[in-house]
Amino acid sequence: MVVDCHYHLEERVLSKPELIAEMDRAGIEKVALMGSMIAPFPEPPRFLLRLLQFFLEHRSLRKIGRVFVSDFTPQGDIRILGKPFPIKPDPGNQEVFDAVRQFPGRFAGWVFVNPSGQFDPVSELEKYQDEPGFVGVKAHPFWHHHAPVELAPVAEKLAELGKPLLIHAGFGEEGDFGALLRAVPGLKLILAHTGFPGYGDFWRAARDNKNVFFDLSQTSYVSEKATLESVAYLGPERLLFGTDGPYGYHDAGGRYDYGFIKRRIERLFPDRGMQQRLLGENFREVAGIG
């Protein structure tokens, strides 16, 4: 079974039936949904994305890359290509689990939490943890501006449940996942986007902790180079297929290319056993789903 572990339910781009049609076209059986944080935005030019990836993947140049991806207004909006986009403090969970109930064979669901938001993270987890298709908790320390260790109370509950926490780490304190793991050593932690923004530094920090995984989602942050190097360094058992859809590369007709990352994994790793691990088996084991 091929499972996309990282997709934002954003029906202004793809409705649920349209997403299922894209899944069928790409050969993806199940998608783990999470709430949408931001309105649809234009895809940056590819040469800018390649330049951004080059800067971020090299520690000595990372400060330059940070200028491009960490451009926030005083109100907390994120600027993309110079235009501000508001960030939702509390991405919706109810619509995610409504979708899971509507299409239980195709969708699973993450509970999105924010320690600085309106809702208590532990209460949000407890509200949805018994829902069919529940896979774990998602948080975004980078855009919601909090340290990962602030998620310790919800992480403790997840460790008891045996479910993972998926985070999009940030820079500085917002990327200090080590403090969280020291507080909750039994936590299964997934770092999004192959360990953005630390990449190799994060891989080295997590190498000896078999409870830390990395997803391969998002074409803006994750290059072929990072995909190949992360799998080579950590081993195929530690990487998970995800898309971060419906954001990412568009095809020649300007349409979001949902199957791009899956095709890239299949091309870069022709061994079928490795493909099965990366494209579904690892996440199914981590999240405990059938």
**What does the pLDDT look like over 3-23, one tens digit per residue?**
999 999 999 999 999 999 999
The per-residue pLDDT for 43 is 87
CATH number at residue 55: 3.20.20.140
**What does the pLDDT look like over 212-252, one tens digit per residue?**
999 999 999 999 999 999 999 999 999 999 999 999 999 88
The per-residue pLDDT for 254 is 85
Tell me the residue range of the domain where 91 lies.
3-287
What tokens does 275 get?
A: 């493909």
CB 147 within 8 A of CB 155: no
**Number of domains forming the structure of the chain:** 1
DSSP alpha helix (H) spans, the chain: 16-26, 46-57, 62-69, 94-102, 121-128, 141-144, 152-161, 177-183, 200-206, 224-234, 260-268, 272-276, 282-287
**What does the pLDDT look like over 151-175, one tens digit per residue?**
999 999 999 999 999 999 999 999 9
What are the residue ranges in the chain where pLDDT is below 50? none
The pTM of the whole model exceeds 0.75: yes
